[in-house]
Amino acid sequence: MIDGLVQVLDRMMQLLTVRSKRRRRLFEAVWEPTFTQLRAVHGDYLGMFEACSSQLAELEEAKPGDAVPRLERITRELRSRRLEFEPVRRQLLALIDHSQRLDLDREAAAFVEAVLWYFPTGTNRSLPTSASETLGRLQGLIESVDLGSNADRLEHGSLRDLADYVHGAIRHQRTAWDHVCDTYAQLQSKDAGEAVL
């Protein structure tokens, strides 16, 4: 009877060891690189939106005739910065999409959900990203400038609305990043705890 109990306990330990090794491989191959790549994307997003915010603030003091060229420059810079990290964003979303089909434990599933929430298009593909929405609003602002006798007259209410949106995007990205960091820390500590087994 004791031999049978020892064999059952040995089998359970082997199963736990296999599960722990699988979890460790998944962490090293998927979760850690995902977090590292997302950290780079997050830094780029913050830099991009902070630069846009500063340029919009400067625009309130612009001379007549400078508004449209400045808005066009902001649009070009935002579009260019956005393109730099597009391959990384797409790779992250594809990886997370694939991960959703796996049988994940609670911590891994929470991390996947946090990464999806970081990207508005991650949870709902019909939603625009913050950068796409900002670009659309910039283009709309450029098109709305009165080109009649008051050439380049910029409605400051519209400019403030855009600046408020950009500030909101910055807040969302920071809040979402905090959530990603929290879920990653939980995932990391669970992985470290199981590695001790």
Give the domains, in start order, of the chain with CATH numbers.
40-196 (1.20.120)
- What does the alpha-carbon distance between residue 55 and residue 71 come to, in Å, rounded to a whole number? 9
The predicted pLDDT at position 149 comes to 42
**Which contiguous run of DSSP H or E holds residue 161?**
helix 156-196
**Separation of alpha carbons 120 and 173, rounded Å:** 10
pLDDT at 49: 92
Q: Check residue 197 and give its pLDDT.
A: 41
For the entire predicted model, the pTM comes to 0.77
Residue 10 confidence (pLDDT) above 70: no
How far apart are alpha carbons 80 and 56 in whole angstroms? 17
pLDDT of residue 95: 78
Contact 45, 39 (CB under 8 A): no
Residues 6+ apart with CB under 8 A from 65: 151, 152
Assigned token pair, 156: 């400051």
**Cα dihedral angle (142, 148, 152, 158), rounded to 10 degrees?**
-50
Tell me the pLDDT tens digit for each residue of 145-184.
655 444 455 666 678 888 999 999 999 999 999 999 999 9
Query: Is pLDDT of 120 > 60?
Result: yes
Name which residue leads in pLDDT, 123 or 181: 181
Query: Can you give the pLDDT at residue 121?
Result: 61
Helix (H, G, I), strand (E, B), or coil: what is residue 155? coil
| Token digits of residue 147 | 């080109």
Q: How far apart are CA 55 and CA 172, in angstroms?
A: 20
Q: Over 50: is that where the pLDDT of 16 sits? A: no
Q: What is the sign of the dihedral through the CA atoms of 159, 41, 22 and 195? A: negative
Q: How many CB atoms lie within 10 A of CB 51?
A: 15
Considering only residues 19 and 163, tell me which one the structure prediction assigns the higher pLDDT.
163
E runs forming strands in 38-165: none
pLDDT at 196 over 50: no
